[in-house]
Structure 1
C-alpha cells in the first residue's frame, strides 16, 4: 500500500486556515459539575516518563563515575592521587550511559523490569571495560593503570547499576499506581472506535497512559454516555477547559481518517491547548511513513501536534531564565533604583504596578511593572489602551514607557517562574481592540498560551510592540508569536534576547 505523508494535511497552518461554521474562536465552555469533580481529583506533582528516564541516565553517570573514584580511594596507598584514573572513571561512565542508551536500556519497559534485562545491563558494563582495555592496548597505556583498580571499579559499578535499577523499578511501579508518573489522556470521539482504542490501550503491559474520560460533540443516541467503562464528560468545547484544569498531557482523536472535515473541525478547536494531539490509527488500513507514528505499547497513533517546549526542553529553558534573569537584575539594578526614585518624586502612589494577565495554559498571573500612570487614573484591566499623549500617563511614565524601562521589574517575574524571559508578550485579561476582546479578533488567539509568556518576544523585536489599536496589529503579533512557539530553540531565545535592546531603539509605537 502506498505511504502517505500526513504533514501535507494536518499542519498548524492547515488547521488554522480551515473554516467551519461550528468551530469556535479559541474559547471554552464551562464544565459540568461531574467533569469538574473528575478534573479536580488529579494531583499536580506528576513526572513524565521522559523526565524519569533522563534522571536515571544522570544518576547512573554519577554513580559509575563515583564508583571509579571510590575504587581509587580504596587503593590510594598503592596508587596515590593520579588524575588519569579520575578522567578514566568519567569517560567510562559516559561510555556506559551511551551504550545503555543504544541498547534501549532506558525505555520504561526495561526500567520497570530490571531482573528481566539483567543480562543486557551486565553485558553493556562488561563491554565498556573491554573497550577501555582495547583502547589502552592500542595507545600503549595499559601498564599505567592498576588491574586491581579496574577489578574493584567493575565490581562496584555493576553493584551500583543493579542497586539503582532495582530501586527505580519499585519506584516506577509505585508512581504508576499512585499517579505520580503517568500521561493523562482524553479520548475525543465516542462509539465503537473509542471502545476498540481503549481496549487496545488497556491490553498494553507497559502502558503509562491514564484515560481521564471521553468528550464528544454527538448526543447520547450516537455516542453512548459510557464507553468501555469510561464516562463521557462533555463536548469538545468543554474539553478545552477540562484539559487546562486537569493538566491533560495527550488528546487522542478516535475518528476514522476518512472523516477529514470533522477531524479538521476538531483540531481547529483543540490545537490551542499545550498538549500532544494524536490521531488513533490502530484500526486504519492506511499506512503512513514510520516517522509519523508514535506508539503506546504496540498501539499506533498518528502524531498531529506535539506539546511545545516539553520535558528536558522546559528544564533547559527554565535554567536559561534563571541565569539571564539574575544577570539582568544585577546589570539593570542602578536603572531600576533611579526609576523608583523618579516615580516617587513625580507623583503619589506605589512604585510598582501589578496587572493580571493571561499566562501559560490560560492561567491568570500577576505581572510587575513600574507605575507609569497617576494612581487615580490607572487602568489595571487595560480596557482602554494607552494612546499618544494620554493624560493618564505621568511625566516619568512617558519616558519609562518610551524606553521600556517600565518592564524591567518583569525580570523578577521570570526569576520566580510566572514569566519566561522570551515568549509571547502577556496581554491583560480584558485587553480590547475596538471594543472587541483579542480572542474575538484573532481566531486561535489562545494558542499563544501554549508556552509561558515572555518579557520580550519575537513579535516585539519585529516591530509589533506598543499600542495595539487595529485588528491587523493584533493578528500580526499573534502570527509572530505562533511562529516563535512552532520554531522554539535556546538559540532562538538567545537571538531574541540580544536583539531586544537594539530593536527598542525604535520607539515609534511606544507611548
Structure 2
C-alpha cells in the first residue's frame, strides 16, 4: 500500500477525531448577497502552476524548433552528422529550460516583468551555449559543427523567447484583471486578525490572490460585518454551501494558533471541501521550520490541507481516464451490445437508466447504467436499496447486477468527464441507511467528494460493494475512499483498475 506522510496523517487524524458536537454535519442556506457573490465565481480559473508548466513546454519547443529550422536552412539533411545535430538541439533546449528554472525565470513575478528578467534569460541562454561548446571541446568534435548554425540558433532562439515573454506579460496582466488567472481565497474568522492579514496580503507585489469574502460564526458585535472593505458573507456552515457554488482555491483561517480548540473545530467542518486550507501565521510569535510554511509574497501561512489531485496531477489523471475509457469501450463493446439486446427482449422500457448521484464537490451528476429493474418500479432516488431476491429486478437485471455489467455504460461518463475511471463510487443523492442519509451516518462523509467519483474504487476491490444494509458498511466504504484520496497516484489507479475484474468475481454482496 502507499504510505501517508506522517505529519499529514497526524493532521488528518487530529481533525477527524476531534469532537465538535456534530457541528461538522451542519449545512445552512446562503443569504442573497453571498449567493450573488458566489455565482460570480462559478467559472474555473487558470492555475498559475499550469501556466508556468505550459510555458516551460512551449519554450522548450521554441528553442528546439529554432535550432531545427536553422539546421534545415543552412546545414541541410545531407550532413554526415545526421543524429548529432538533432541530439545537440534537443539536449541544448532541455538544458536551457532547466537553467532558466534554476534562475526562477518561470515564476509569475518574472513573467509579469520581462524587462527585469531579460538579463537572466540572455545570461542563461548564453550559458547553455557555453556548456555545449565546452562539451564539443572535450569530445573533440566541435570543429565538425557549423559556426553559422551555432550563432544563428543562439540569435533566433533568444529573439523568439524574449518576444514570447513580452506577449506573456501582457496576457498575464490581462488574465489577472479579468479574473481568468487568479487564486480565489476566503478568509475564515473576522475581526482585527483578519484585517491585519488582508492588509498584509494587499501589500504584496504581484499578488494573485483574490479575496472573495469573510465567514465567521461570531455575531456583528464581536466580528464586524465589513473587514478591510470585504463583507462578512455568513457563518462557517454557510461557507460549505458557498464553496460548492464558487470555484474557491484556498481557505485561510485567520485565528491564532494558540486557539487550538477553535481552530480544530473549524477544520473539522472545512476539511471536506476540495480546497487548500491554510492557517494564517503572519501575526504569530511561534516560528516553525521554513518547510512548514507556504508564502504569499512574504506572508507566511501554515499548510493544513492541500487540495487533492491538483494541477498537473489532474491533467495526468484526465489523460489516464480518456485513454483507458476508450480502451474499455472498444473492449466491452460486444458485451454492451449483447446486454442492450437482452434488456430489450426481457422487459419493456429504455435500455439505459439515468440516476442523479453526488459528484465532485458534492455537485449532482447524471450517471448511466444498464436498466436492471422493471421500468415502472425503477427508483431514481435510491431511497429503497436493492436487496437479495428483490422483486423489482428483472431476470436479466439479476445477472448484470451480480456481474457489474450494468456499470459498463459509465465508461462513457468517464470519457466525457463527469466520472473518473477510479475514485470513490458515487452514491445516489437520497441514498439512506436505516432512514438516515449517508452523511448523517458518517461524520466527514462529504470528504469523499473532494475528488471526482469513479467507476471503480479502492473500497469496491476490497469487498465493500453491493447492498448497504448496515451503518458499518457505509462507514468502511468511506474509510477506504478517504485512504484512496490521501494516497492517490497514477500507479495506485492502475493497480485498482487491474484488480477490479479479479475482485468482481466475488459476488456475494451484489444483488
Partner SS for 1:421: strand
- State the Cα distance separating 1:290 from its structure 2 match: 1.6
Structure 1 residue 289, shift from structure 2 partner: 1.9
Following the alignment from structure 1 to structure 2, what is the Cα–Cα distance between the partners of residues 45 and 190?
Answer: 26
Question: Which structure 1 residue ranges, 4+ long, deviate > 6 Å from structure 2?
Answer: none
1:106 is paired with a residue whose SS is coil
Cα contact 2:75–2:146 (8 A) shared by 1: no
Q: Match for residue 139 of structure 1?
A: 139
* Preserved contact between residue 10 and residue 304 of structure 1 (Cα < 8 Å): no
Tell me the equivalent position of 2:213.
213
Q: Report the CA distance shift for 1:142/1:172 in structure 2 as closer, same or farther (over 3 A).
A: same
Does 2:304 match 1:312? no
Alpha-carbon distance in structure 1 between the residues aligned to 2:393 and 2:8: 50
1:178-327 to structure 2, matched below 5 A, reads 178-327=178-327
What displacement does 1:76 show? 3.9
Shift of residue 189 of structure 1?
A: 0.3
For 2:47, the equivalent position in structure 1 comes to 48
1:463 matches 2:463? yes
**Structure 1: any 5+ residue segments left out of the alignment?**
none
- Secondary structure at the aligned position of 2:310 is classed as coil
In structure 2, the partner of 1:29 is 28
Partner of 2:479: 479
- Alignment of structure 1 residues 74-473 onto 2, 5 Å: 74-76=73-75, 80=79, 82-473=82-473
Counterpart Cα distance in 2 of 1:124 and 1:279: 38
**Residue 12 of structure 2 aligns with which residue?**
12
Q: Decide whether the 8 Å contact of 1:43 with 1:179 is kept in 2.
A: no
Task: Say whether the 8 Å CA contact 1:22–1:265 is kept in structure 2.
Answer: no
Task: Indicate conservation of the 8 Å contact 1:359/1:365, yes or no.
Answer: yes
Shift of 1:243: 1.1
Distance in 2, matches of 1:206 and 1:386, equals 56
> Whole-Å Cα distance in 2 between the matches of residues 396 and 21 of structure 1?
47
Contact (CA 8 Å) 2:44, 2:247: kept in 1 or not?
no
Deviation at 1:139, TM superposition (A): 1.8
Residue 56 of structure 2 is matched in structure 1 by: 57
C-alpha separation in 2, matches of 1:137 and 1:114: 34
Aligned Cα root-mean-square deviation (Å): 1.5
Please give the per-residue CA displacement for 1:120-176, whole angstroms capped at 9, x wherever unaligned. Answer: 111110111111111122122212311111111000110011011111111111111
Task: Give the C-alpha shift of residue 103 in structure 1.
Answer: 1.5
3-state DSSP class of the match of 1:294?
Answer: strand
Distance in 1 of aligned mates of 2:212 and 2:296? 16
Q: Measure the CA separation in 2 of the matches of 1:207 and 1:323.
A: 38
* Between 217-226 and 95-104, the greater mean CA deviation after superposition: 95-104
Deviates more, 1:141-150 or 1:52-61: 141-150
Aligned with 1:480: secondary structure?
Answer: helix
TM-score by length of 1: 0.97
Q: Return the alpha-carbon distance in structure 1 between the equivalents of residues 77 and 355 of structure 2.
A: 67
Whole-Å Cα distance in 2 between the matches of residues 79 and 322 of structure 1?
A: 41
TM-score, reference length from structure 2: 0.97
Q: 1:417-461: per-residue Cα shift (whole Å, max 9, x none)?
A: 000000000000000001110010000100000000000000000
